[in-house]
Structure 1
Amino acid sequence: MDIHNLISMANRIGQFFESFSDRTEALEGISNHIRKFWEPRMRQQLLAQLDEPAGEGLRPIVAEAMRAHRDQLV
Structure 2
Amino acid sequence: MKLADDIAVQFRHYPPRAAAASIANHIRQFWDPRMCSQLKTQVEEDGADCDPNVIAAVQLLNAPER
Structure 1 segment 1-74 matched on structure 2, within 5 A: 7-20=1-14, 22-53=15-46, 55-71=47-63
1:18, distance to aligned residue in structure 2 (A)? 1.3
1:70, distance to aligned residue in structure 2 (A)? 1.7
Query: Equivalents in 2 of 1:37, 1:67: separation in Å?
Result: 18
The answer on whether the counterparts of 1:14 and 1:30 sit within 8 Å (CA) in structure 2 is yes
User: How many residues are aligned here?
Assistant: 64
1:27, distance to aligned residue in structure 2 (A)? 1.2
The answer on whether the counterparts of 1:27 and 1:62 sit within 8 Å (CA) in structure 2 is yes
The answer on whether the counterparts of 1:28 and 1:69 sit within 8 Å (CA) in structure 2 is no
Structure 1 residues 19-47: Cα deviation after superposition (integer angstroms, max 9, x where no partner): 11x33221110000011100000000000
1:62, distance to aligned residue in structure 2 (A)? 0.7
1:56, distance to aligned residue in structure 2 (A)? 4.5
Aligned-pair identity in percent equals 34
Structure 1 SS opposite 2:49 = coil
| TM-score, length-scaled by structure 1 | 0.73
Unaligned segments of structure 1, at least 5 residues: 1-6
